[in-house]
Amino acid sequence: MPRAGPACMTCREKCRKCDRGRPSCQRCISKGLVCQGYPDQFRFCGIASRGKWKNARIPVSEKIVQQVNLNPVSLTAAQSMAVTPAATIISGGSLTPPTPASVTRRSKRMTIESVLEKQVPEVGDDIKSLLAAEQTKTLLHHYDTFMAPHQIAELGDEKDNPYRAYILPLAKKQIGLLYAVLGLAAVHLGKLTDDTTLVKATSVEYRVKAIRALSEKIRKGQNTSLSDEEEDGVFATIQILLLHDIAETGISEHGIHITGAMSVCKSILISEGFNGRRQRAVFFIGNLAWLDIIRAFAGTRRLCFTQDFREMIATASGHRFELVNGCPREIFLIIGRVLDKAKEYKMGWTTDEDFRSTLMSAKFELHAWDAKSKTYPSSDPRWISVAIAFQFACILHIHRLLNPSQPASSPEIQTAVHEILDATADIPSDCTLIELMILPLFMAGADSLSRHSQYYVLARFREIERRSEMRNPVPADLLKQVWAARAAQGASHEHEGNISWRDFTCCPELPRQHDYLII
């Protein structure tokens, strides 16, 4: 059955379902809103317009699955179809955000979902021969010596760094995790050395094999019980695949990875819950739960983990949670409760009064939270600045949930922005803690109005990139789109409503939204 066309501009801005009524959307009319009309249809490009596959013809979709099974490396070409908006639309005095970059640049890799839809042949157990290969040794050395130290603050090169102590021994036993680590190391090393073969062929091939092995393991877990080692291998593989997303585009397409971990997480809860014996599992699941929070910042419907789950994680994980993610566990629980209620409200499961009451209570709790009285992973006083930055980043997000149209110039918005920027200024570029600050900097940047504060945010992003040699393009790209749209709005003098960064991460044409990993 053919589609009825794109959603109206009002429903697109609010990221909600549209009935596509003509000339006006009945959903808007029933809500007492002005329907702003419909955008031009998208045009599909039959030839790739840039990159390695420039001027190459795009294979039809039916061939993609065949090519995945025959030759994983050809996936880069098979999925490079571009979808571009035919025109920029300005209707009813408001600027319509452009289609997200995740839609205009189709994936160069296979997602877990596409693998699970089709039975995949079992991956052979060739760990010994793979570990003996020179390329494997080079990539594992790069991961161990260069990448792992940047994944957790302060521990860095220590032997008990869990990205070494947990992942590398598991990878030598779990073929899927080994493939995932090799894929991550290949894309990272390839970008450092400008080796396009590593980036566009080797990393893609390893990634495809990792996803195939992962899908087999998840399928096995649905029929029989997985061992502790197998379960931990699943969690570690998913986290490494997410780090691959961050290193490549910053976007995890269709939100598959985090959601896919839940069936295994639930089996652990049913069988034994979280305890000291499963610290390795607690470490990985805690990181996935924080990434779940981050993706829910872009859209509350994406939230997957429950508050009960988060409370168990906060109790069991210890300070390693902060060392990896930066956010204090108390704030993690507060914002988790907020996002749970926001999701209920979006889904129509709670009242406006209950929603606002919960958010106002959380905002008061966050303002009362005293960073100086808390304990941190070490005695370094700059941990207080990290905590304050996350504290006000969450306060800022609550403001936006309560009133999405509140102008960025509002005093309470700017107070939160200044608190974040001042806290970040206490952390020098040579301090390992600066690598934890991407999310707070991004939240402050989204509501920064002056050019010097915007410049400061981008400068700090560049410092973080130079430290880790890991560039996540999403934060800076989203901020530049917000600032450009806000500048255009100011030039038109039409109205003073807010322009939200979340508008640039939502595409109604996608049945399942992408995850924007702002870390």
Sign of the dihedral defined by the CA atoms of residues 30, 31, 33, 36, in that order = negative
pLDDT of amino acid 58? 34
- State which H helix or E strand residue 202 sits in: none
Name all contacts of 358-366 with Cβ < 8 Å and 24+ positions apart. 359/398, 359/401, 359/402, 360/402, 362/334, 362/335, 362/337, 362/338, 362/398, 363/395, 363/398, 363/399, 363/402, 365/334, 366/331, 366/334, 366/391, 366/394, 366/395, 366/398
Rounded-to-integer distance, Cα 391 and Cα 290, Å = 15
Closest CA to 247 of 180, 166, 297, 320: 180
The CB density around residue 132, as the number of other CB atoms within 10 Å, is: 10
Rounded-to-integer distance, Cα 412 and Cα 118, Å = 51
φ/ψ of 44, rounded to 5, equals -100, 125
pLDDT of amino acid 509? 80
Each residue's pLDDT tens digit, 449-505: 999 999 999 999 999 999 988 889 999 999 999 999 999 887 665 566 789 999 999
Name all contacts of 384-389 with Cβ < 8 Å and 24+ positions apart. 385/423, 385/424, 385/426, 385/427, 385/433, 386/322, 386/326, 386/423, 386/427, 386/433, 386/436, 386/437, 387/328, 387/331, 388/419, 388/420, 388/423, 389/419, 389/420, 389/423, 389/424, 389/437, 389/440, 389/441
Q: What is the pTM of this model?
A: 0.76
Contacts of residue 177, Cβ cutoff 8 Å, sequence gap at least 6: 167, 170, 171, 210, 233, 236, 237, 240
**pLDDT under 70 in the chain at which residues?**
1-5, 12-16, 30-32, 34, 38-125, 255, 257, 260, 262-263, 266-277, 491-496
C-alpha radius of gyration, the chain, whole number:
23
pLDDT of amino acid 447? 96
Packing angle, helices 175-193 and 134-142, rounded to 10: 80
pLDDT of amino acid 40? 43
Rounded-to-integer distance, Cα 266 and Cα 351, Å = 29
Q: Collapsing DSSP states into helix, strand and coil, what is residue 380?
A: coil
What is the token pair recorded at 381?
Answer: 């006083």
Which residue, chain included where needed, has tokens 């990393």? Answer: 203
Rounded-to-integer distance, Cα 390 and Cα 331, Å = 8
